[in-house]
């Protein structure tokens, strides 16, 4: 029943970068699991994103009539902070419906300043796994209307508590993403709700992270 579909996931990967399955496999699994939306956001750096986006767009056409909303996008990863705004602009021109940035997770080295540059770049929609997000950057997210991510991915999620606290204090939007690299890693609604609660969100903030903020982001991406 389309009306009962409540799971929005703005971050996942396919074999077009380091995921395990095709876009069609990922979207089919999401549709079958009752998702409302799945964005596929494969990694790119400064290379031309057009071949990737073209392939995602072609496979997305299979889902046009179905209950699942698709978004095709990129996750800008390990781009020097000074070039993030330019890379985001180019990805948008190349057809990205959503542009996310691989934030300063504790899991691996990400150039310092990536969070700030992402939140300052006009064409970036969402900052993924921001790690030890500063108060200043949370305020920047709020001012610039950027969305911050609570990550369902192992290790990336270690700092969900501080991301949640600083986003709430600053009034910035939060969403819960899977960052799935395999369809079995797609996070169902109930687990997303627990991740939001586990990050310390109060009941009303949980509802906003699972429904309100995703709907606003979808609108911003032109599909709301």
Contact present, 37 and 68 (Cβ < 8 Å) = yes
Q: What b/e sequence results for 75-105 when a residue is b if at least 16 CB atoms lie within 10 Å of its CB, and e otherwise?
A: bbbebebeebbebbebbbebbbbbbbbbbbb
Q: Output the smallest distance, CB 177 to Zn ion, in A.
A: 8
Rounded to whole angstroms, the Cα distance separating 176 from 214 reads 9
Burial class (CB in 10 A: 0-12, 13-18, 19+), 204: exposed
Of residues 160 and 205, the one with the C-beta less far from Zn ion: 160
Binding site for Zn ion (CB under 5 A): 75, 102, 128, 179
Q: Output the smallest distance, CB 59 to Zn ion, in A.
A: 18
DSSP 120-131: H-TT--EEE--S
Q: Output the smallest distance, CB 115 to Zn ion, in A.
A: 12
Q: Output the smallest distance, CB 156 to Zn ion, in A.
A: 7
Q: How many residues does the chain have?
A: 224
Of residues 102 and 146, the one with the C-beta less far from Zn ion: 102
Of residues 195 and 205, the one with the C-beta less far from Zn ion: 195
Rounded to whole angstroms, the Cα distance separating 162 from 138 reads 10
Q: Output the smallest distance, CB 98 to Zn ion, in A.
A: 12
Of residues 78 and 219, the one with the C-beta less far from Zn ion: 78
Of residues 118 and 205, the one with the C-beta less far from Zn ion: 118
- When CB distances to Zn ion are compared, the closest residue is 102
């Amino acid at each position: 029943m389309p009306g009962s579909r409540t799971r929005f996931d703005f971050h996942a990967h396919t074999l077009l970068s380091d995921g395990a399955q095709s876009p069609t496999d990922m979207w089919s699994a999401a549709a079958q699991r009752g998702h409302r939306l799945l964005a596929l956001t494969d990694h790119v750096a400064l290379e031309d994103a057009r071949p990737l986006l073209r392939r995602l767009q072609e496979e997305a056409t299979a889902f046009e009539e179905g209950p699942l909303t698709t978004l095709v996008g990129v996750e800008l990863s390990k781009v020097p902070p000074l070039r993030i705004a330019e890379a985001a602009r180019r990805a948008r021109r190349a057809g990205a419906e959503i542009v996310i940035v691989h934030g300063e997770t504790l899991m691996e080295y990400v150039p310092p300043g990536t969070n700030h540059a992402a939140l300052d770049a006009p064409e970036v929609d969402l900052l993924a796994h921001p790690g030890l997000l500063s108060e200043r950057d949370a305020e920047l997210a709020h001012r610039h209307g950027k969305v911050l991510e609570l990550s369902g991915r192992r290790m990336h999620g270690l700092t969900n508590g501080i991301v949640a606290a600083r986003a709430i204090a600053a009034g910035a939007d939060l969403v819960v993403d899977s960052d799935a690299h395999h369809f079995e890693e797609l996070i169902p609604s109930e687990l997303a709700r627990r991740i939001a609660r586990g990050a310390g969100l109060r009941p009303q903030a949980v509802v906003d992270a699972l429904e309100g903020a995703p709907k606003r982001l979808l609108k911003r991406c032109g599909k709301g």
